[in-house]
Structure 1
Amino acid sequence: MNPMDGIRFAFGTLTALPVRVTRWDRTAARAGMLWAPLPGLVVGLCAAAAGGAFLLLDSGPLLAAVATAAVPAVLTRGLHLDGLADVADGLGSAKPAEDALRIMKQSDIGPFGVLTLVFVLLAQVAVLAELYAISWTRGALAATIAAVTARLTLTLACRPGVPPARPDGLGAAVAGAVPVRAAVLLAVALTAACATTAGAAWGAGAAVHYALAVAAALTAAQLLLSHCVRRFGGVTGDVFGALAETAATTTLIVSALGTY
Structure 2
Amino acid sequence: MPDGRLIAGLRLAFTTFTILPLRAGRVDRPVAAVAMALAPMVGAALGIPLAALLIGTAAAGPALVAGALTVAAGALLTRGLHLDGLADTVDALGSYRSGPGALEIMKKPDVGPFGVAAIVLVLLIQAGALAALPDRPWPAVVAGVVAATAAGRLAVSWACRRGIPAARPEGLGALVAGTVNRPTLVVATAAVAAMAVPAVPGRPWQGPLAVVAAIAVELLVLRHVVRRLGGITGDVLGASVEITATLVYLGLVLTG
**TM (normalized to structure 1)?**
0.92
Aligned to 2:53: 50
Aligned to 2:37: 34
Residue pair 1:154, 1:243 contacting (<8 A) in 2 also? yes
RMSD (Å) for aligned C-alpha atoms: 1.5
Structure 1 residue 250 and structure 2 residue 247: aligned? yes
Mark the runs of 5 or more structure 1 residues left unpaired by the alignment: none
Q: Classify the secondary structure of the residue corresponding to 1:244.
A: helix
Q: Classify the secondary structure of the residue corresponding to 2:179.
A: coil
Q: Classify the secondary structure of the residue corresponding to 2:128.
A: helix
Residue pair 1:33, 1:174 contacting (<8 A) in 2 also? yes
Residue pair 1:47, 1:67 contacting (<8 A) in 2 also? no
Distance 2:135 2:125 in 1: 15
Distance 2:9 2:92 in 1: 31
Alpha-carbon distance, 1:138 to partner: 4.2
Residue pair 2:140, 2:199 contacting (<8 A) in 1 also? no
Aligned to 1:141: 143
Distance 1:66 1:239 in 2: 24
Alpha-carbon distance, 1:225 to partner: 0.9
Q: What amino acid does structure 2 have at the position aligned with 1:59?
A: G
Q: What amino acid does structure 2 have at the position aligned with 1:33?
A: M
Structure 1 window deviating more from structure 2 (73-82 vs 6-15): it is 6-15
Summarize the Cα distance change of 1:81–1:148 in structure 2 as closer, same or farther, 3 Å threshold.
Answer: same
**Correspondence list, 1:123-138, <5 A:** 123-134=125-136, 136-138=138-140
Q: Classify the secondary structure of the residue corresponding to 2:205.
A: helix
Residue pair 1:156, 1:184 contacting (<8 A) in 2 also? no
Equivalenced residue count is: 253
Distance 1:35 1:129 in 2: 29
Residue pair 2:148, 2:245 contacting (<8 A) in 1 also? yes
Distance 1:122 1:240 in 2: 21
Alpha-carbon distance, 1:109 to partner: 0.4
Aligned to 2:184: 182
Aligned to 1:120: 122
Aligned to 1:217: 214
Q: Deviations over 1:110-154 (max 9, x none)?
A: 000001111111111111112224555544332221100001111
Q: Deviations over 1:193-216 (max 9, x none)?
A: 432x447xx34x2x2000111011
Q: What amino acid does structure 2 have at the position aligned with 1:145?
A: A
Distance 2:108 2:155 in 1: 25
**TM (normalized to structure 2)?**
0.94
Structure 1 residue 191 and structure 2 residue 193: aligned? yes
Distance 1:134 1:187 in 2: 25
Alpha-carbon distance, 1:19 to partner: 1.7
Identical amino acids, percent of aligned pairs: 43
Alpha-carbon distance, 1:14 to partner: 1.5
Q: Classify the secondary structure of the residue corresponding to 2:162.
A: coil
Residue pair 1:172, 1:236 contacting (<8 A) in 2 also? yes
Distance 2:195 2:144 in 1: 13
Residue pair 1:159, 1:177 contacting (<8 A) in 2 also? yes
Structure 1 residue 231 and structure 2 residue 234: aligned? no
Q: What amino acid does structure 1 have at the position aligned with 2:77?
A: L
Distance 2:102 2:57 in 1: 41
Mark the runs of 5 or more structure 2 residues left unpaired by the alignment: none
